[in-house]
Homo-oligomer: A and B are copies of this chain.
Amino acid sequence: MTNPVLVEVLRGDHVESAHRGSLAVFDADGQSVWEFGDTARPVFPRSAVKAIQALPLVESGAADAYGFGDRELALACASHGGEIAHAELARSMLARAGLDEAALECGSHWPSNHDATIALARAGKSPNSLHNNCSGKHSGFICTCANSGIDHRGYVDAGHKLQQMVREAMEDLTGATHGSDNRATDGCSIPTYAVPLRNLAVGFARMATGQGLSSTRAKAAKRLFAACMAEPFYVAGTGKADTALMEAAPGRIFVKTGAEGVYCAAVPELGLGIALKCDDGTGRAAEVMIATVLSRLLRSDEALAATLDRQANPPIKSRIGVEVGSVRPTAALLEPGR
């Protein structure tokens, strides 16, 4: 099955590049609301499922034991830009468990936020694992272990107790088996499992509504979503699409990107979960897809839809700041009646 072109990149009046993709919008009962392309093919959700991966942090009592509020929980679900506030909060989370960045097994990289990279370099510093975009998630993992008396070392390995807890949560939410057959390794060294988009969409509808979950899990899911929607800077950061999308409708939209063009999202008031992937793995296209889908789903709020439409149609500028093109959803993605 060839997925449809969902996003076009224009230079002047001409389509310069095009992005294909697949998309699933489902409710918590597993009913399909909107699908494009092959939603049954397993895809690696990568960082888009960090909120599900953070469930054990809350369910185990670790979040309460260490006094984590919305910011810490948001950072545990984040792919952050490595800004000072992000790195310092990850450090603080580890410190509350009596640990420091030496416990992180995610590796390090320069901040994805360019200004943060320049500031770090100007200060004569180099990045450490706290600047890794996944440091909040990993700090959450380590705190979960520490509070439960589990040796945190090796927490990134598929066989570690922590990853078993994460896998159980993922299987419960998505209904998809997570085994060695569909497992690979993410950039931050933890396992990632290929799951159909339709299962991911149902999973995020369940996260938003609590339907089909134990009361403990439903409560933890709502708490994590509420934290992310309350503190979108800590889920991504300055200049990031996820932060802008959640800031556009405080408390009404949850979104989380994953590497290779993935998004998982939810609109709690509609009881819907969303999962999408750009075939070629390009973030700019996935960002246009998610903004377009959210605009369509929330179009009864005209002001919000207009804001989301602007995010779904970003300009391309020359190096002197002149608009020379744009990225836009295709007619297929905008078709009426959705």
- Give A contacts to B, CB under 8 Å: 2, 9, 11-14, 16-20, 42-44, 105-110, 114, 117-118, 121-122, 124, 132, 182-189, 192, 194, 260-261, 278-282, 285, 318-322, 324-325
Distance in Å from the Cβ of A29 to the closest Cβ of chain B?
29
Known interface pairs A14-B42, A44-B14, A44-B16; A184-B325 also in contact (CB < 8 Å): yes
Is A17 a contact partner of B185 (Cβ separation < 8 A)?
A: no
Which residues of the other chain, B, contact A322 by a CB distance below 8 angstroms? 185, 189
Which residues of the other chain, B, contact A318 by a CB distance below 8 angstroms? 107, 185-189
Give CA–CA (A43, B15) in the complex, Å. Answer: 9
Which residues of the other chain, B, contact A132 by a CB distance below 8 angstroms? 319
Which residues of the other chain, B, contact A114 by a CB distance below 8 angstroms? 110
Give CA–CA (A189, B320) in the complex, Å. Answer: 8
Which residues of the other chain, B, contact A117 by a CB distance below 8 angstroms? 117-118, 121
Which residues of the other chain, B, contact A261 by a CB distance below 8 angstroms? 17
Distance in Å from the Cβ of A4 to the closest Cβ of chain B?
11
Which residues of the other chain, B, contact A187 by a CB distance below 8 angstroms? 318-319, 324
Which residues of the other chain, B, contact A279 by a CB distance below 8 angstroms? 17-18, 280
Give CA–CA (A11, B9) in the complex, Å. Answer: 27
Give CA–CA (A188, B11) in the complex, Å. Answer: 13
Which residues of the other chain, B, contact A105 by a CB distance below 8 angstroms? 320
Closest to A105 in B: B320
Oligomer: number of copies? 2
Which residues of the other chain, B, contact A19 by a CB distance below 8 angstroms? 280
Give CA–CA (A270, B194) in the complex, Å. Answer: 44
Closest to A10 in B: B184
Closest to A43 in B: B16
Distance in Å from the Cβ of A15 to the closest Cβ of chain B?
10
Distance in Å from the Cβ of A280 to the closest Cβ of chain B?
4
Distance in Å from the Cβ of A266 to the closest Cβ of chain B?
24
A sample of 14 more A-B contacts (CB under 8 A), given A16-B260, A117-B121, A188-B319, is A9-B281, A11-B44, A11-B260, A12-B184, A12-B185, A17-B278, A17-B280, A105-B320, A107-B321, A132-B319, A184-B325, A186-B324, A189-B319, A281-B282
Give CA–CA (A124, B119) in the complex, Å. Answer: 10
Which residues of the other chain, B, contact A282 by a CB distance below 8 angstroms? 280-282
Closest to A108 in B: B319
A-B contact pairs, 12 of them (CB 8 A): A2-B2, A11-B192, A12-B185, A17-B278, A17-B280, A19-B280, A110-B114, A117-B118, A187-B318, A187-B324, A188-B318, A280-B280
